[in-house]
């Protein structure tokens, strides 16, 4: 009897001791896709955490979510701060007029489809006469503040809209209308505007937003149906009964204070750039050389030095985002007939590649690459490139399989 009890007791003690094993599971820094930038001071870290809490908060109907929405929390489109999953895709639409102009169909609840709704309010559908429809996969969030901190002049200097150097790459600077509420919300010391007073679009797959403040306010409004002083009107369903549209979500606007919007913006600005991994792996080292020699790096620019901003921790940092922040013609295969801002239907902003290797860990173990998640592998993503990138893709396809795998190993190390 005593022996039997002793046996069970020993087993239990061993199980307790086993806890030491599972407790030692803190992920290493190079496994974390999104984290506060290590250089934040105590006050900045507190503000970052306040924004982080808002990012992870699920808003309720009583707090103003809806009446139509895509998600109730930022987190559910950017799991682990990473790229989104098609189940929460963003669908945007518009209509081409007979005179060749694109309209955002604002009166028909455009340009974004909110396909979920609060109880009792009908969800939206894409209008039948919308002939430009695009599906977008939410982007990863690491290092966004450092992209915002890139000096405008540095972006402009890399542009080659007329392909003067004859390399078939002709990235151009996206100049877009900056809403009045974005004024005074820039962190860079200087901004470059074109002759129409339009400013460089830095965020959004079509470079529509001029800064992260605008991007955060738009996402809260168009994705969650949460209003701010910047975006002060709830999305609606134009087909809903008039009395329902007048009620909306029933919560007075703005539903989020300026202070919280600023905290959310600061959170986005203060996330650390995604870490590199496997940098000593010979395949990765060879892959990086191939990335350069095939010409990928012409658009996916590897290095910037950030400019001077009002946030000291962002200033004069060497970063490796693998984007040039410019618009490029990506060919008919990636032309969805939809446009916004300064971009043509076939033009896309070069997406940053940092964090690519950790993307699958935020997408449920599957890869969903390109703007709409159409490519399930990095190889497929490369093959989806066209337009200006056609010649680069051909360079990749000329490589033998071993070299192609090395280049992909490099991409996975980002």
Q: How many residues bind other proteins (CB under 8 A)?
A: 49
Q: How far is the CB of 136 from other proteins (least distance, A)?
A: 14
Query: Of 10 and 305, which CB lies nearer to other proteins in the complex structure?
Result: 10
Query: Of 39 and 364, which CB lies nearer to other proteins in the complex structure?
Result: 364
Residue 97 sits in the site that holds other proteins (CB under 8 A) = no
Binding residue (CB under 8 A) for other proteins from 47, 48, 78, 85:
85
Q: How far is the CB of 355 from other proteins (least distance, A)?
A: 14
Residue 26 sits in the site that holds other proteins (CB under 8 A) = yes
Containing 214, the helix (H) or strand (E) segment is helix 212-219
157 CB burial (10 A radius; 0-12, 13-18, 19+):
exposed
Place of tokens 């509420």: 181
* Dihedral over Cα of 140, 343, 333, 165: its sign: negative
Residue 107 sits in the site that holds other proteins (CB under 8 A) = no
Q: What is the greatest pairwise CA distance in the chain?
A: 93
Closest CA to 138 of 218, 239, 54: 218
Taking phi over 0 as left and psi of -120 to 50 as alpha, with beta for the rest, 341 belongs to: left
Q: In angstroms, how far is CA 25 from the centroid of its own chain? A: 28
- DSSP 8-state symbol, 375: B
Closest CA to 159 of 144, 175, 172: 172
Residue 16 sits in the site that holds other proteins (CB under 8 A) = yes
Binding residue (CB under 8 A) for other proteins from 120, 161, 282, 332:
120
Angle separating helix axes 282-293 and 401-413, nearest 10 degrees: 100
Query: Of 282 and 364, which CB lies nearer to other proteins in the complex structure?
Result: 364
Task: Decide: helix, strand or coil at residue 88.
Answer: helix
Site for other proteins in 229-248 (CB under 8 A): 241, 243-244, 247
Q: How far is the CB of 363 from other proteins (least distance, A)?
A: 6
Q: In angstroms, how far is CA 340 from the centroid of its own chain? A: 16
Site for other proteins in 304-363 (CB under 8 A): 361-363
Map residues 61-80 to x or -, x wherever contact with other proteins holds by CB under 8 A.
Answer: xx--x-----xxx-xx--xx
Residue 379 sits in the site that holds other proteins (CB under 8 A) = no
Residues that bind other proteins (CB under 8 A): 5, 8-9, 11-12, 15-16, 19, 22-27, 57-58, 60-62, 65, 71-73, 75-76, 79-80, 85-87, 89, 115-121, 123, 241, 243-244, 247, 250, 361-365
């Amino acid at each position: 009897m005593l022996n039997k009890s002793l046996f069970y007791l020993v087993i239990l003690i061993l199980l307790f001791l086993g806890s030491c094993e599972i407790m030692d599971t803190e992920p290493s820094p190079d496994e974390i896709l999104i984290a506060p930038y290590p250089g934040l001071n105590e006050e900045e870290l507190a503000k970052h955490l306040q924004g982080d809490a808002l990012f992870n908060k699920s808003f309720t109907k009583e707090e103003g979510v809806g009446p139509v929405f895509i998600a109730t929390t930022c987190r559910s489109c950017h799991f682990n701060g990473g790229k989104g999953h098609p189940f929460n895709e963003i669908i945007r639409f518009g209509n081409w007029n007979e005179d060749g102009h694109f309209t955002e169909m604002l009166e028909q609840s455009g340009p974004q489809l909110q396909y979920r709704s609060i109880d009792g309010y009908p969800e939206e559908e894409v209008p039948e006469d919308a002939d430009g429809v695009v599906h977008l996969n939410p982007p990863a969030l690491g290092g966004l503040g450092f992209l915002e901190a890139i000096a405008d002049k540095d972006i402009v200097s890399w542009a080659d809209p007329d392909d003067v150097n004859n390399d078939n790459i002709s990235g151009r600077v996206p100049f877009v209308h900056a809403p009045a509420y974005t004024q005074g919300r820039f962190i860079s010391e200087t901004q470059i505007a074109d002759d129409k007073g339009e400013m460089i679009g830095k965020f959004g797959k079509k470079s529509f937003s001029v800064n992260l403040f605008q991007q955060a306010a738009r996402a809260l409004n168009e994705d969650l149906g949460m209003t701010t002083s910047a975006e002060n009107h709830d999305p609606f369903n134009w087909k809903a009964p008039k009395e329902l549209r007048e009620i909306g979500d029933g919560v007075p606007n703005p539903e989020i204070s300026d202070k919280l919007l600023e905290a959310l913006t600061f959170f986005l600005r203060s996330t650390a750039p995604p870490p590199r991994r496997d940098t000593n792996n010979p395949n990765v080292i060879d892959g990086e050389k191939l990335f350069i020699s095939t010409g990928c790096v012409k658009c996916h620019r590897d290095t910037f030095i950030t400019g001077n901003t009002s946030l000291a921790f962002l200033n004069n940092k060497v970063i490796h985002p693998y984007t040039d922040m410019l618009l490029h013609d990506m060919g008919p295969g990636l032309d969805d007939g939809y446009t916004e801002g300064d971009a043509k239907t076939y033009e896309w902003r070069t997406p940053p590649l940092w964090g690519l290797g950790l993307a699958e860990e935020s997408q449920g173990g599957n890869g969903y690459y390109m703007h709409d998640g159409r490519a399930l592998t990095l190889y497929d993503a490369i093959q989806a490139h066209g337009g200006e990138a056609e010649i680069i893709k051909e360079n990749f396809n000329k490589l033998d399989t071993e070299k192609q795998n090395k280049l992909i190993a490099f991409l996975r190390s980002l």
